[in-house]
Amino acid sequence: MKRLWRLHIRPREGDGDTDRSIDFCIKNNIIGMGWSVPDLGVTHYFDFPLYKAAAEKFYDGTSPWSSVRVFGEEAAVGDLVWFRNTKGYYYLAEITGPWNYYYSGIHISTDIVNYRTARILKVGLVDAVPGKVISCFRPPRTFQAIDSQQMLEYSSAMMGLKPAEPGTRDIFEYLSDEDLENLISIYLQVCGWYVMPGTRRKDTPHYEFVLVDRNTGKRGIVQVKSGHEGIDAAKYAGETTTFLFASCEDYGDVVPHNVTIIPRSKVLSFIRSQRQLLPESFGHWVNLVGL
């Protein structure tokens, strides 16, 4: 079964120039990573089990090495892989060949010694990429799966491998964290709660923004989570008026009296009826899912 992956191309050896490593991959239609094993004493290698045994001994079971194992053993020809460069451009690759190990010349200097041949498509900047894919670039692991059938179907369509099927998708899978925060902020303002933009701070992770009721001046807060991340509503118990929205609709077992859960159904209705109020970047995703 075809799978979808995310790759960080970040050289730790060689000259350490990330852009050079990525350009090398694109120009040569390959995707890859480091973790060279000089002890192998070979330049070009195709036997992954023997490489794996040597690498496990050389790296002594360190956790980052597991990315190479997954890249070599689990990723298959036909699988799709997202990666990006330091300038914020995203690329999508289709794996077209088996695992290779090449320890020589530019493969050493770019730290791309473990690689797979690939067909590579330049997708564009962040506004052209689904939020679900973007969020998968947060973890530091070099290579990991993107477990979303919708994202696999969307990525396949982008590569021309399968026609898109508008109307069968969940728009919340496509919205980035920033998109979702903007959406809920606009929704609350239409509902009479003005957002105070300057209150969004990294040192207040308990909430996204402070709100003010336009009629009474009463203050409130809002918290928004995307993907499969829920919100424990019980942690917001108190006197402060609180609005919560989690796209997975997981709020725990207790919802305190001061907490208002924003239903997905109301947000979807808002998207349909107030599309003119939404950022332009929403247009593509709204059309794609058929709202």
Of 71, 66, 89, which Cα lies nearest the Cα of 81? Answer: 71
Q: What is the pLDDT of residue 168?
A: 61
Q: Is 10 helix (H, G, I), strand (E, B) or coil?
A: coil
Q: What is the pLDDT of residue 24?
A: 98
Q: What is the pLDDT of residue 194?
A: 96
Both tokens of 17, joined, read 């120039």
How far is the C-alpha of 241 from the C-alpha of 238, rounded, in Å? Answer: 8
Does CATH place domain 4-165 in 3.10.590?
Answer: yes
The alpha carbons of the chain give a radius of gyration, in whole angstroms, of: 23
Give the dihedral sign, CA 214/217/218/220: positive
Does CATH place domain 172-289 in 3.40.630?
Answer: no
pTM over 0.85: no
Q: What is the pLDDT of residue 61?
A: 64
- For the chain, the structural domain boundaries read 4-165, 172-289
How far is the C-alpha of 262 from the C-alpha of 221, rounded, in Å? Answer: 13
Q: What is the pLDDT of residue 157?
A: 87
Which residues in the chain land under pLDDT 70? 61-64, 163-168
Q: What is the pLDDT of residue 166?
A: 52
Q: What is the pLDDT of residue 283?
A: 80
What are the residues whose beta carbons fall under 8 Å from the beta carbon of 81, sequence distance 6 or more?
4, 5, 6, 7, 31, 75, 92, 93, 94, 95, 118
